[in-house]
Amino acid sequence: DKKIIIAIDGHSSTGKSTVAKQLAKALGYIYVDTGAMYRAVSLYAMRNGYIDESHFDEEALEKSLPGIDLQFEINPKTGLAEVLLNDENIEQEIRTLRVSKHVSKIAAVSKVRKKLVEQQQKMGVEKGVVMDGRDIGTVVFPNAELKLFMTATAKDRAERRYIELKEKGENVTYEDVLKNVVNRDHIDSTRKDSPLKKAKDAIKIDNSNLTLDEQFKQILKLAKATI
């Protein structure tokens, strides 16, 4: 079998990472969560006071970029890669709504994107990779052998994410989560650098009415037909 690159893009909270993990496991591929990298940079910016509800010092963030080192480490319990921000495992913290509220502004900064995209492209050199994000099929790997674009209604997506955050013990309301999902999609699709959009050759998957199992079977079939 030849090894390929599978690019999974789409709107916020469409279950990209769930299906990407399933696929990587079934194919023996590496899974790369690029959203986690943007979230890590956001956490760094928040901790250093570069961004909060009322201000964003883009220049300070840009200047600090050389001091941000992102690596992945495998969690032996789950077998999944987690992001290290300057050697600190920040997996729990980057999944909070607090980080979700700032991440799209951070991800709109060209210098941030340039740094992360370069690192992502290196991780795909040997192929055998499933990568999910917003610009994987359009910018990071325009030649990916299989491209998927996932979407679902905002209501369905917010419901799923709300349940997930609640299960983790976060004190959030459904309205907050819905607002965040809609707001992130808006910023992500209207930014100048690498806006979220379906690559021409990407296959669109609307999973509003699909179970996880149905979706996985459908996508695994596409992957096997490509490999």
Residues forming contacts to ligand C5P in the complex (CB under 6 A) are 12, 34-35, 38-39, 103-104, 107, 133-136, 184, 188
Q: Is 102 known as a binding-site position?
A: no
Q: Minimum CB separation from ligand C5P for residue 16, in Å?
A: 6
SS3 content of the chain, % helix, strand, coil (to 5): 50, 20, 30
Q: Is 124 known as a binding-site position?
A: no
Q: Is 3 known as a binding-site position?
A: no
Q: Quick one: angle between helices 97-107 and 174-190, nearest 10?
A: 10
State which residue, 190 or 217, has the beta carbon closest to ligand C5P.
Answer: 190
Contact (CB, 8 A) for 181 and 12 = yes
Hunting for tokens 């055998």 — which residue is that?
128
Dihedral angle computed from the Cα positions of residues 203, 33, 178 and 62, in that order, rounded to the nearest 10 degrees: -110
Q: Is 104 known as a binding-site position?
A: no
State which residue, 34 or 207, has the beta carbon closest to ligand C5P.
Answer: 34
Q: Minimum CB separation from ligand C5P for residue 184, in Å?
A: 4
State which residue, 9 or 27, has the beta carbon closest to ligand C5P.
Answer: 9
Q: Minimum CB separation from ligand C5P for residue 224, in Å?
A: 25
Q: Minimum CB separation from ligand C5P for residue 140, in Å?
A: 7
State which residue, 190 or 224, has the beta carbon closest to ligand C5P.
Answer: 190
Q: What is the DSSP letter of 49?
A: T
CA 186/CA 209 separation, integer angstroms: 23
Q: Minimum CB separation from ligand C5P for residue 133, in Å?
A: 2
Q: Is 96 known as a binding-site position?
A: no
Contact (CB, 8 A) for 80 and 141 = no
Q: Is 153 known as a binding-site position?
A: no
Contact (CB, 8 A) for 23 and 223 = yes
Q: Quick one: angle between helices 34-47 and 110-123, nearest 10?
A: 140
State which residue, 131 or 219, has the beta carbon closest to ligand C5P.
Answer: 131
Q: List the binding residues.
A: 10-18
Q: List the binding residues for ATP.
A: 10-18
